[in-house]
């Protein structure tokens, strides 16, 4: 009996071991299946993680849009000039008050009632003559000319590292009026001259009197306020900040496209407003001011130099970065660039089309496909909250290319089509009054 019980016990134990092993295998298989299903559910294009990321991006985008709308609404209610952290904020504008955008040292950003963004360019008052007084006349004043000349001389001295263009370029071009080579000698102010200038479709986009008035107003404003505003981004096209296909169709593709003042924006992720002549760019720039008491225009040459100096002093860029090689902060043909904006777009120079872009731009010298980027596509190109000042697009200015009379229009900076050492940020280039192509855009100033 004892032996029988022992054998039976062994059989039961042996059978139990067999059942346990099978159950274990089945359990493992079930767990593997569940794990596979869970992983598939979590990952993949339609997985939980992807959906969560998409939801987060949409929520972030919605929050940004809501913040922007609130700032625009506030700007619409700002009927008077205010002061914020020592800077006068024009009517129709409000500071963003965001971290990293609230002080001059960081790059003070303000939004206007149209949603356009501006950055304050400081010009230290102690670098200008003291105790100058001006007449109360509007427009150009002969009485104020001497004072304005004195201020201009001081500003040139302050920014003298950049007044010749890039280092060794020797292009000491001046802020003076020009039209085209046919009428460039029209410098007398009279009714006939004004009428002839108004007929012109070329040049800097301003009549002689308008140019003198605008320049003097800019100088007075810089002296009074200790600086001026510039567009945070290059000029862009309204309706192109998204990545849907219809956004790409709004891009300008030739100089034959009619210009439209209502379509210009200074906002992130926009396709640049290019294929414009210098005079067309000025027409567009002067229409973008959010308040009638302020003037907007293309930057004068001295203003571009002052921006360079501001980036050196406050932005800690070296003169080499600005004057000799801007490869560390610009989109050029010889530069690899990390794309950081989720709505970034790129224009393939070889293919001739715009499309969504999200990866790093890597340039192969043996097989180049240079890429023009939408505004603010990479944080690498941001200095003191100003995007794309180096590279990407040449930008028209209001200075006269005095050395080459049949190319009187001056543009500054570099282009996505050329290398960074040949065209650093301070570089001066020149072109015909009728030239308009994919390399040329603009950035307005406000004062």
| Sheet (strand 345-348) strand order | 353-356, 345-348, 371-373
Alpha helices in 77-207 (DSSP H): 142-158, 191-199
| Weakest-pLDDT range from 16-25, 136-145, 232-241, 348-357 | 16-25
Among residues 395, 402, 351, the alpha carbon closest in space to that of 375 is found at 395
- Give the residue with greater pLDDT, 61 vs 206: 206
What is residue 188's predicted lDDT score, i.e. its pLDDT?
55
Residue 279's pLDDT band (cuts 50, 70, 90) = very high
Q: Residue 320 — pLDDT band, cuts 50, 70, 90?
A: very high
CB atoms inside a 10 Å sphere around CB 195: 10
> Of all residues in the chain, what percent carry a pLDDT higher than 90?
68
Pairing of strands 394-400, 440-441: parallel
Mean pLDDT of 144-160: 98
pLDDT higher at 183 or 51: 51
The whole-number pLDDT of residue 183 equals 53
The mean pLDDT value for 304-316 works out to 97
Q: What pLDDT is stored for residue 40 in this prediction?
A: 74
pLDDT of 399 strictly over 50: yes
Q: What is the mean pLDDT of residues 22-30?
A: 87
pTM of the predicted structure, to 2 decimals? 0.85
Average pLDDT of the chain, as a whole number: 88
The confidence score (pLDDT) of residue 78 equals: 87
> What's the mean pLDDT in 381-409?
93
DSSP string covering 92-114, please? TEEE---TTSSSTTT--EEEETT
pLDDT at 96: 97
Q: Which residue has the tokens 């263009």?
A: 165
Least confident range from 184-198, 254-268, 306-320: namely: 184-198
* The pLDDT of residue 108 is above 70: yes
More confident position, 433 or 157: 157
The pLDDT of residue 90: 96
Angle 187-192-195 from CA coordinates, rounded to 5° = 95
pLDDT in tens, 353-372: 899 998 887 766 544 568 99
pLDDT at 92: 96
pLDDT recorded at residue 61: 66
pLDDT band per the 50, 70, 90 thresholds, residue 350: confident
**Calpha distance 122→332 (Å, rounded):** 27
- Decide if pLDDT at 195 tops 80: no
Greatest alpha-carbon span in the chain: 135
- What per-residue confidence (pLDDT) applies to 10? 47
CA distance 35 to 25: 15
Measured distance CA(144)–CA(146) in Å, rounded: 6
Q: For residues 167 and 180, what is the distance between their CA atoms, to the nearest angstrom?
A: 28
Of 401, 381, 360, residue with least CA distance to 443: 381
β-pair partners for 346: 355, 373
Any idea which of 32-36, 375-379, 383-387 has the lowest mean pLDDT?
Answer: 32-36
Q: Parse the chain into domains and list their residue ranges.
A: 48-113, 126-446
Count the neighbouring beta carbons within 10 Å of the beta carbon of residue 129.
12
pLDDT tens figures, 203-231? 899 988 899 999 999 999 999 999 999 99
Phi and psi dihedrals of 429, rounded to 5?
A: -120, 170
pLDDT of residue 66: 82
């Amino acid at each position: 009996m004892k032996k029988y019980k022992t054998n039976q016990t062994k059989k039961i134990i042996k059978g139990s071991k067999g059942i346990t092993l099978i159950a274990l295998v089945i359990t493992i298989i079930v767990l593997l299946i569940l794990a596979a299903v869970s992983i598939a559910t979590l990952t993949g294009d339609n997985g939980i993680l992807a959906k969560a990321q998409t939801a987060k991006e949409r929520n972030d985008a919605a929050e940004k849009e809501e913040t922007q709308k609130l700032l625009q609404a506030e700007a619409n209610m700002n009927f008077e000039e205010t002061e914020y952290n020592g800077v006068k904020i024009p009517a129709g504008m409000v500071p963003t008050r965001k971290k990293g955008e609230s002080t001059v040292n960081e790059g003070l950003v303000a939004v206007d009632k149209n949603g356009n963004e501006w950055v304050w360019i400081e010009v230290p008052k102690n670098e200008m003559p003291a105790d100058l007084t001006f007449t109360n006349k509007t427009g150009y004043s002969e009485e104020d000319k001497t004072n304005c000349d004195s201020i201009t001389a001081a500003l040139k001295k302050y920014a003298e590292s950049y007044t010749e263009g890039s280092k060794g370029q020797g292009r000491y071009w001046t802020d003076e009026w020009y039209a085209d080579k046919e009428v460039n000698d029209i410098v007398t102010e009279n009714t006939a001259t004004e009428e002839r200038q108004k007929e012109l479709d070329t040049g800097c986009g301003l009549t002689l009197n308008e140019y003198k008035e605008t320049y003097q107003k800019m100088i007075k404003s810089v002296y009074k306020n200790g600086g001026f505003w510039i567009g945070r981004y290059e000029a862009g096209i309204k309706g192109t900040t998204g990545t849907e296909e219809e956004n790409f169709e709004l891009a300008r593709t030739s100089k034959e496209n009619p210009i439209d003042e209502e379509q210009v924006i200074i906002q992130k992720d926009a396709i640049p407003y290019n294929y414009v002549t210098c005079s067309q760019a000025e027409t567009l720039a002067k229409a973008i001011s959010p308040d009638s008491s302020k003037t907007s225009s293309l930057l004068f040459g001295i203003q571009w130099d002052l921006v360079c100096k501001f980036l050196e002093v406050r932005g800690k860029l070296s003169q080499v970065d600005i004057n000799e090689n801007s490869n560390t902060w610009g989109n050029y043909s010889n530069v690899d660039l990390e794309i950081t904006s989720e709505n970034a777009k790129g224009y393939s120079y070889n293919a001739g089309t715009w499309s969504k872009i999200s990866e790093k731009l890597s340039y192969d010298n043996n097989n180049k496909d240079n890429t023009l980027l939408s505004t603010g596509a990479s944080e690498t190109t941001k200095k003191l909250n100003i995007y794309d000042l180096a590279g990407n697009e040449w930008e028209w200015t209001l200075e006269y290319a005095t050395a080459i009379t049949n190319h009187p229009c001056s543009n500054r900076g570099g282009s996505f089509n050329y290398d960074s050492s040949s065209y650093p940020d301070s570089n001066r280039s020149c072109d015909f009054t009728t030239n308009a192509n994919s390399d040329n855009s603009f950035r307005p100033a406000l004062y």
